[in-house]
Homo-oligomer: A and B are copies of this chain.
Amino acid sequence: MTQDERYMREALKQARKAYALGEVPIGCVIVYQDKIIGRGYNRRNTDKNTLAHAEITAINRASKKMGDWRLEECTLYVTLEPCQMCAGAIVQARITEVVMGSMNPKAGCGGSILNILEMPEFNHQVQVKRGVLAEECTQMLTIFFKELRVRNKLEKEATKERAFSEQIPEKKKEESVEMKGKMEYNKT
């Protein structure tokens, strides 16, 4: 296992914490001189805060640890290509290198929609590696969204049923229960 893979596994550990909370599973670690100085995972819905992305949390912790807003000579590992906010924070913090797992073709700003990390117009450019443990990172997201779709479908059905049963007046409900009993009886 390469060093990049080793740290991406640590980022995946963080992503699993997000998954356990029912959040989109994204995890991140920041490494300085072969030590992790910041960890983070997505908690946007749990914390009800846009800033609770994995990378922002990790940058916040790393800055506190380093006592500096500059995170020079640091490498950030993240399981999914960063969004526009996180890619921007990475450049602002002057992080030297970013290693990412999955790409995010619909919203990513580390090469998909934009490449904020390597723009020559800014005063800092980040070195970028893509596709480290991409399969594992993608798989975790795929499973999450598949389960989410099932959950959403079940919730929708439950809401529909609730709305339907609330519409039926009490008398009708009793009749309907009777009817259902009869139907069930007929089935046996």
Interface positions of A (Cβ within 8 A of B): 44-45, 47-53, 56, 59-60, 63-64, 67-71, 83-89, 91-93, 107, 109, 113-114, 116, 119, 121-123
Contact = CB atoms under 8 A, between A and B. Distances in A.
Interface of chain A, helix or strand or loop or mixed? loop
- 8 A-B pairs with the lowest CB-CB distances in the bound complex, closest first: A85-B88, A84-B88, A50-B93, A88-B88, A49-B63, A85-B89, A50-B69, A50-B92
A68 to B, nearest CB: 5
Contacts of A71: 50
A89 B71 CA distance: 20
A87 B122 CA distance: 14
Contacts of A92: 50, 53, 83-85
Contacts of A107: 122-123
A68 B44 CA distance: 9
